[in-house]
Amino acid sequence: MAVMNVNPTRMELTNLKRKLSTARRGHKLLKDKRDELMKQFLDTVREVRALRQEVEEELMTVHGAFTVASALMSSQALEQALLSFSGDTEESHGRVIILITDGEPEILTAPAI
């Protein structure tokens, strides 16, 4: 703690007590703010983890479907199917379904659930 040259008067004592009280109140407010920011941060981390898990599961599903499609379709047909849906990705959040009947793949879209 810093050493201060202080006049030994009652008025100076009152002023110092008031400053100390204000400093303690400010310190408590800063601690409360820090605690609330930590709560918000941890809530955000939990939310991000949940969303990441959801995205990873969806990516695994899509990867599996892509693997099946690439095994059953020619590379040209698969590329054309992928290019036909590339423009709609930002607006539509539906699912792409590839039906294979009698060896012929058919590409359908389904709305998101």
pLDDT digits (tens, 9 = 90+) for 18-37: 999 999 999 999 999 999 99
Q: Is residue 51 predicted with pLDDT exceeding 80?
A: yes
In terms of pTM, does the model score above 0.75?
Answer: no
Tell me how far apart the alpha carbons of residues 100 and 96 are, in angstroms, rounded to a whole number: 13
Tell me how far apart the alpha carbons of residues 2 and 40 are, in angstroms, rounded to a whole number: 35
